[in-house]
């Protein structure tokens, strides 16, 4: 009985550590404030790239469409709150119809940003390139002005988030491994926000977020994530 109680106590301790988690952010910026072309500065809010999944016992990610849809709504609501409290004006970006002559260019710019964002994550936070060590000079190129014309905004804000949640089997494996002194990762929240100057195509601000806690499925917790992600967004 004593051994059983001891194991239960250990599991409870481990559980509290897993659930509590922590969140960290790290940003890079080449500007201190936004420079509008006209007096009324606008930021185009690009479609939020968010995906939620269940982390299985074997470490596979099973996508959850309903969770992802709920997360997208919560993120937009949180951004709306920031817009009101920080006096920022976001313009919701609408993807063009296929018949639009600029459609292919705009779609390619979205894809290009996805590739550039992943390159920044890899080269600034994982394996730092010697040529990028002390500089932040990533760009989408001058073609970004097409997006400026389409949105009538000076900047574009991109948000990329991946959130996973440990399944019951994964949690059991974490507990069991912890009793043996082995660490197994659970669900994580990883993402970034980036700001692109649509006049030049330059990525002028980038903030990376990593958290072992958080939950984008509920508004209040999603708001905490968005607040962290956009905390130092230049104004």
C-beta of residue 43 within 8 angstroms of C-beta of residue 197: no
Whether the predicted pLDDT of 15 surpasses 70: no
Amino acid 199: pLDDT: 94
DSSP string of the chain? -HHHHHHHHHHHHHHHHHHH--EEEEEEES-SS---SSSS--EEEPPPEEEEEEE-TTS-EEE-HHHHHHHHHHHHHHHHHHHHHTT--EEE--PPPTTSTTHHHHHHHHHHHHHHHHHHHHHHHTS--GGGSS----B--GGGHHHHHHHT-SEEEEEEEEEEEE-HHHHHHHHHHHHTT-------EEEEEEEEETTT-BEEEEEEEEESS--TTSHHHHHHHHHHHTTT---
- Which range has highest mean pLDDT (42-51, 127-136, 205-214)? 42-51
Q: What is the pTM of this model?
A: 0.84
Higher pLDDT, 10 or 187: 187
What is the mean predicted confidence (pLDDT) over 41-63? 93
Whether the predicted pLDDT of 91 surpasses 50: yes
What is the mean predicted confidence (pLDDT) over 171-200? 88
Does domain 26-229 correspond to CATH entry 3.40.50?
A: no
């Amino acid at each position: 009985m004593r051994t059983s109680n001891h194991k239960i106590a250990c599991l409870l301790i481990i559980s509290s550590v897993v659930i509590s988690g922590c969140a960290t952010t790290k940003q890079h910026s080449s500007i201190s404030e936004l420079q509008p072309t006209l007096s009324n500065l606008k930021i185009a809010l690009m479609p939020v790239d968010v995906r939620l999944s269940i982390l299985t016992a074997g470490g596979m990610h099973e996508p959850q469409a309903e969770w992802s849809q709920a997360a997208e709504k919560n993120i937009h609501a949180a951004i709306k709150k920031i817009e009101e409290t920080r006096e920022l004006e976001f313009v919701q970006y609408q993807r063009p119809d296929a018949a639009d002559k600029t459609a292919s260019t705009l779609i390619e710019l979205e894809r290009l940003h996805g590739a550039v964002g992943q390159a920044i994550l890899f080269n600034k936070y994982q394996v730092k390139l010697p040529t990028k060590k002390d500089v932040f000079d990533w760009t989408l190129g001058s073609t970004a002005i097409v997006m400026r014309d389409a949105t009538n905004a000076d900047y574009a804000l991109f948000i990329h988030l991946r959130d996973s949640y440990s399944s019951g089997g994964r949690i059991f494996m974490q507990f069991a491994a912890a009793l043996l002194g082995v660490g197994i990762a659970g669900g994580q929240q990883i993402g970034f926000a980036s700001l692109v100057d649509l006049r030049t195509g330059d990525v002028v601000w980038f903030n990376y977020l990593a958290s072992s806690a958080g939950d984008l499925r509920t508004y209040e917790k999603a708001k905490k994530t968005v607040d962290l992600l956009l905390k130092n967004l230049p104004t």
